[in-house]
Every structure is written in C-alpha cells, then in structure tokens.
Chains A and B, each alone.
Chain A
Amino acid sequence: GESVGLHLPTLSVQEGDNSIINCAYSNSASDYFIWYKQESGKGPQFIIDIRSNMDKRQGQRVTVLLNKTVKHLSLQIAATQPGDSAVYFCAENLVGGNKLTFGTGTQLKVEL
C-alpha cells in the first residue's frame, strides 16, 4: 500500500495475472476518490473514480473497491499487461472540500 517516505512501494506481477494496488486514506469525511496512472515521463492520467455512496465501480479491466469502515481503497487490474507498468496514485477529497489530496504512489512492475 501507499505510505509516506523516500521509497516508493513496489508491486511486481507477472503478465496476465491480476494486480491489486492498495491505498489507505486518511479522512473519514472524504467523499470522492480517484485513481491516477503515471507512466515514466508523463503526467498522471485519470483511470477511475468512485463516490463514497458506492463500494465498487468497474471500468475496462479495472475495478475500484471502497471500504469506508477501514478507510481503504483498492485498484484491481485484470490480466495485467506490460503497458500497465506505471506509478499509481490514489487521491481523496473531503466533503465540501475544493482540492484533492494525493497518496505517495505505488510502482507497478509487470514481468514478462
């Protein structure tokens, strides 16, 4: 999962396997969450979002799960491909807030 520090957590998976990237968010008053993907040399790109009135949302090959009880967010990537190699960030927004707070990121490495 994501954490504050100098070293980026790394998840290594085999091509074709499913990946699960975890994020512990900080504020129980957060009502909106987003996952971003950042490839080397590029800015972060939106993957999927979820509001706090939902516990699951699916996109193309990606699923976001939200567990408000333990303040935990996860991103599941099905059939991981080499192109999924990137740093993944979760972000949260407080109710009535006007900005996102980002996690520190998880490096996903896909092994052939």
Chain B
Amino acid sequence: DVKVTQSSRYLVKRTGEKVFLECVQDMDHENMFWYRQDPGLGLRLIYFSYDVKMKEKGDIPEGYSVSREKKERFSLILESASTNQTSMYLCASSTARTATNEKLFFGSGTQLSVL
C-alpha cells in the first residue's frame, strides 16, 4: 500500500514563527500536494508539485511556500505563521500526470495551532 507520512500529528506554534511541515511518500509518485482542511470549507489546495524542484500555486498559496528537493519529500513552509493559518494540513501524492486518473493518497494530517 501507498504510504504518505506527515512528520507531525500535532503542532503548536507562535505567531511570527517559521513553520515547516514535512511529508514523505514511499511509492515513487511524481505528484505531491498540500491541502488545508477547515470545518465546513472542505479541502483547499495550497501548492502542488509534479516533479523535483517544480511547484505550482493552488487556490490559496498566500502565506505559504513549498520545497521539493527530492522526489519523495514535499515540504510546506509558513514563513511567518499567523493565527488564521491554524488548520489541519493534509499532504497527498499520486502517480498520474493527467488528472483523469488523479487518485490521491493522503497522509493522516498535521493539526497546526498558531497562538
């Protein structure tokens, strides 16, 4: 089975801190994604990547950046955390380049609280 591992289940940070969320997948997937999940708003795409050192903005990239130095690892960075970034963050990966087969495999999520 595909495994997508997020390094932390819970994180508590202070406003203004730089925050790194790490994600690793073990199935050699080309595509990786970061979503945030908020009650009643569903999953919203922050950034995604189809290849090493490649990134594309999703629907809500403001306040975030990403890094993909290796195929299996995709990092989400909050340069200066703010309280409105308190959320559940979900990493996902998939094998297909064309979205008609875009079956995503998700990690268990990181619940980030910014105080």
Contacts of B50 in A (CB 8 A): 98
Q: Does A84 contact B (CB under 8 A)?
A: no
* Chain A: number of interface residues, binned into ranges: 20 to 34
Chain B residue at minimal CB-CB distance from A93: B99
Q: Does B90 contact A (CB under 8 A)?
A: yes
A107 to chain B, nearest CB (A): 10
* Chain B: number of interface residues, binned into ranges: 20 to 34
When A and B form their complex, which 10 residue pairs have the shortest distance between CB atoms, in order from nearest? A43-B106, A104-B42, A102-B43, A6-B40, A93-B99, A102-B42, A32-B100, A44-B106, A43-B108, A98-B99
Q: Across the interface, do A4 and B41 meet the contact criterion of CB distance under 8 Å? A: yes
Q: State in angstroms the CA–CA spacing of A103 and B48 once bound together.
A: 19
Contact with B along A34-76 (1 / 0, CB 8 A): 1010000111111001010000000000000000000000000
Chain A residue at minimal CB-CB distance from B58: A99
Among B41, B43, B58, which residue has its beta carbon within 8 angstroms of that of A44?
A: B43
Q: Does A83 contact B (CB under 8 A)?
A: no
Contacts of A36 in B (CB 8 A): 106
Contact with B along A99-111 (1 / 0, CB 8 A): 1111111000000
Q: Does B52 contact A (CB under 8 A)?
A: no
Q: Across the interface, do A99 and B40 meet the contact criterion of CB distance under 8 Å? A: no
